[in-house]
């Protein structure tokens, strides 16, 4: 009796970006710590440097709770995220946070261009928009001509 060899085609797993699932889990725990510690600190209702201290304490508390629920390595990532949130709050509280934003961009009022005088009073009841130019479509081709253009 001859032995038959069966050729099975196995699908090869591909990971073109090289991102492991452990890295994604770690990033999720860091984000949880960075978002959770300011939320927990907000419940205490502190202001100023006490808010910074409350955020740090919340980061420690979340890390301790995470150690009991999800494990040691996840608790370390939660602590990293909470301490990052604490450092960002401390930088903003010390006054250096204003230079971390969009530079000299500030929120301002940008009106619609209108025909107005030097004091901003609009001469017309609506904004001066250019008149619409009728389209000719594909003029020589009846098949592609729009039914709305005459």
- Cα separation, 121 vs 124, whole angstroms: 9
pLDDT digits (tens, 9 = 90+) for 66-120: 999 999 999 999 999 999 999 999 998 988 766 666 566 667 776 666 667 777 6
Provide the mean pLDDT of the chain: 80
Angle at CA of residue 57, ends 80 and 82, nearest 5°: 20
pLDDT at residue 144 is higher than 90: no
Q: What is the pTM of this model?
A: 0.57
Q: Give 50 or 101, the one with higher predicted confidence.
A: 50
pLDDT digits (tens, 9 = 90+) for 11-26: 777 878 888 889 999 9
Contacts of 113 (CB under 8 A, 6+ apart): 127, 128
Between the two ends of the chain, the Cα-to-Cα distance in Å is 84
Q: What pLDDT does residue 117 have?
A: 72
Q: Half-sphere exposure of residue 85, counting CA atoms within 13 Å on the CB side?
A: 29
- Cα separation, 10 vs 40, whole angstroms: 49
């Amino acid at each position: 009796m001859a032995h038959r060899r069966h050729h099975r085609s196995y699908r090869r797993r591909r990971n073109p970006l090289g991102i492991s699932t452990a890295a994604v889990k770690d990033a999720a725990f860091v984000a949880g710590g960075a978002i959770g510690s300011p939320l927990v600190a907000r419940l205490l209702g502190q202001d100023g440097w006490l808010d910074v201290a409350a955020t740090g304490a919340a980061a420690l508390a979340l890390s301790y709770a995470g150690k009991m629920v999800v494990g040691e390595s996840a608790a370390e990532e939660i602590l990293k995220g909470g301490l990052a949130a604490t450092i960002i709050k401390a930088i903003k509280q010390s006054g250096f946070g204003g230079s971390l934003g969009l530079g000299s961009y500030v929120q301002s009022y940008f009106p619609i261009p209108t025909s107005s005088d030097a004091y901003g009073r609009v001469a017309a009841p609506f904004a001066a928009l250019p008149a619409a130019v009728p389209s000719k479509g594909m003029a020589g081709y009846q098949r592609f001509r729009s039914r709305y253009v005459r």
